[in-house]
Chain A
């Protein structure tokens, strides 16, 4: 299932790996942003994304703050946002879901299964 996916992560290598995985295996049309601020700019310029994959711990605007800004009239509510996080405490997961995310994917992730996991979380299996 293809569509436009916005990938937001401050780590260059992780961006490259996730992009490769999502493009080659999931056939997503991937655009990447290296910060929350850049993500907001891109969505403001063109809100036509089908899903946003958002890292939690980033310098400057972190994932939750970015989501809050995006939901403030920039990104349509219907567009699902999935958090990527290297914090895996169950309490963190609950907290992130409570912010209105479609799901949480833990780092490190299996790149061969990443696309499938994204598809599952946004109901596009």
Chain B
């Protein structure tokens, strides 16, 4: 007995067989009747439609023999699928491949075999339509043609099965996708190049007051207002084909318009995607009415707390100031000293209130930056002016290395940051010491550096110093007059600008605080350079 070789396209063939999902399925009249017709037409006792799997042959339909699979090694049809045309064995006893086959030497005692390969819609041979007799016989050319016709019929049925399965699969997968889409809390609206809506989820329909399907074909502009398209940024995509986002929008606040014309605030991000059929856009949006109400309450609370705390502090600071200033009479030296302490601590309390309210506002997530193109020279000068008195008092010299760059930033907030860092550097410098502040260009960012020669920062605290109330030495707040919030605020301000802030303290003494800011748009920076 000879075992049939494995077809060249075996793995593709097996995948096609698996995809058709015909193996081990129940009996099907559509195939059964073909085997009945074949047995009658050719007057053979046995006819079968077989599928050749990895290790077995399985009959999808058969007559004249009990349906049961057999090992692939002894399978006749595993030879049939090697060729495009029918395999005919007039007498198995005269064929060395089959003479000792168990189906020849035992039940059902095969003497004659004729098999026509049957193919998947994609072309791979799946098995055969075969005729079997227990006596030797011949087959005419006309009979072979009829056998091929019947095999064609089998293939038609398989193809029909395949299409039905495809449609079912497609419907299933669509249903799965949209069940997920509809259960997402965000509204999802996909629109094509012409701005017309092509697909929406239920969340979007409900939020905007449309019935199922009513939004299809509506222009996107009818339900989206105050969206700044200028804030869409291009991103680089590594590979060209397939559906993928080629533009990523920034999440932003906009106004949603309901079907009845009423509006509500939303947060929306629009991405551009490319498919084989062209490009389209996907807007994902969320109603932020409640969040904005909560933000308003918090803003109001912060504003009231600020006012309520500062009013008594104004009276305390004011009366102490007048007493210390001798406006209401001279003080004994000891009393003068006490009042001085009271003033210093009141000032610290005021700074603490200011810093805490500042950081609350930032953490509430809506620090309003008023960014303009501003020169680093102007930022440094304003910061130096602000710390001059402090530096003079501490006998510390502040030096600058002037590099003129133009950054896109909120000048007030960056001066606040620089004053903070410079103030720390001065406070921790020894008398007669030097603090250096510089600006350099680092890629598409400007990098600010404030260097002192004070006691430095231990390596394990370089990150934690940016946390609230985290100082290198617990007594610093009292001795240095800080609030413990300065660096936390600086970090938030830099973060909001899209920059980064960090501390370096390489040696025993001194540390360098660095932060980056985005440079202004290149064209304008070039103009600035050219005009200088």
Interface residues of A (CB under 8 A from B): 11, 13-14, 17-18, 20-21, 24-25, 57, 86-91, 107-112
Contact = CB atoms under 8 A, between A and B. Distances in A.
Contacts of A13: 315, 318-319
A20 B322 contact: yes
Q: Which of B306, B310, B318, B370 has the most CB of A within 10 A?
A: B318
Given A20-B327, A107-B314, A91 B354 contact: no
A24 B321 CA distance: 13
Contact of B318 (A18, A24, A25, A86): A18
A21 B322 contact: yes
A36 to B, nearest CB: 16
Contact of A21 (B306, B315, B327): B327
Nearest to B328: A20
B327 A108 contact: no
Interface of B: 303, 306-307, 310-311, 313-319, 321-322, 324-325, 327-328, 346, 350, 354, 361, 368, 370, 412
B307 A17 contact: no
A14 B322 contact: no
B199 to A, nearest CB: 41
Most buried by A among B313, B321, B346: B321
Given A21-B322, A88-B354, A112-B325, A11 B307 contact: no
Given A13-B315, A24-B327, A25-B327, A107 B310 contact: yes
Contacts of A57: 307
Nearest to B412: A90
B306 to A, nearest CB: 6
Given A86-B307, A87-B303, A108-B310, A14 B315 contact: yes
A88 B302 CA distance: 12
B311 A14 contact: yes
A13 B313 CA distance: 11
Contacts of B412: 90
B314 A14 contact: yes
6 contacts: A21-B318, A108-B314, A111-B322, A111-B325, A111-B327, A112-B327
Nearest to A11: B311
B496 to A, nearest CB: 14
Nearest to A90: B412
Nearest to A20: B322
Contact of B311 (A24, A89, A91, A107): A107
A116 to B, nearest CB: 12
Contacts of A87: 303, 306-307
A112 B319 CA distance: 10
A39 B68 CA distance: 107
Contacts of B307: 57, 86-87
Q: What are the 4 closest A-B residue pairs judged by CB atoms, nearest first?
A: A17-B318, A86-B310, A13-B315, A108-B314
B325 A108 contact: no
A88 B310 CA distance: 10
A9 B224 CA distance: 46
A108 B313 contact: yes
Given A17-B318, A111-B317, 20 more contacts: A13-B318, A13-B319, A20-B322, A21-B321, A25-B325, A25-B327, A57-B307, A86-B311, A87-B307, A89-B361, A90-B370, A107-B310, A107-B311, A108-B310, A109-B314, A109-B318, A110-B317, A110-B321, A111-B321, A112-B327
B306 A86 contact: yes
A111 to B, nearest CB: 4
B394 to A, nearest CB: 20
A108 B350 contact: yes
B314 A86 contact: yes
